[in-house]
A and B are shown apart, each in its own frame.
Chain A
Amino acid sequence: MSVAVQCQDFYCPVFLTGTRGEMFGQDTPKKFISILLNGIMEFRRPETMTLGLPLEEALFSLGETFNECSISDWDGYGALPVNEDAFAEAKKFVELLPSSIKIPDIMAEPIGEIAFEWRKGKNRIFVISLGGRQQITYAGIFGGNKIHGTEYFEDSLPINILNNISRVYS
Chain B
Amino acid sequence: MERLDRTETLARYLYSKNQYRPSDNSVKHNAFIPPPNKQLSVFRITALLENEIWRIGDSLSDRTPLGRADIQAESVYDADLLIFLDDIPPRHANIINWPEEQSAIKLKAIELAQKARLELK
Question: CB within 8 Å of B: which residues of A?
Answer: 65, 68-69, 74-80, 105, 107-111, 115, 117, 122-123, 125, 127, 129, 137-141, 146-150
Contact = CB atoms under 8 A, between A and B. Distances in A.
Interface string B39-83: 001000000000000000000110101000000000000000000
Majority SS at the chain A contact face: strand
A79 B17 CA distance: 14
Looking at A69, A123, A129, A147, which has the most chain B CB atoms within 10 Å of its CB? A129
A110 to B, nearest CB: 5
Interface residues of B, number: 29
Looking at B33, B41, B103, which has the most chain A CB atoms within 10 Å of its CB? B103
A87 B34 CA distance: 21
Given A127-B29, A129-B106, A78 B111 contact: no
B35 interface: yes
17 contacts: A68-B17, A74-B18, A76-B13, A76-B65, A77-B35, A80-B36, A107-B19, A108-B18, A109-B30, A109-B33, A111-B102, A127-B29, A138-B106, A139-B104, A146-B107, A148-B103, A149-B103
B107 A148 contact: yes
B29 A117 contact: yes
Contacts of A107: 18-19, 28, 30
Given A68-B18, A77-B41, A122-B114, A139 B60 contact: no
B30 A141 contact: no
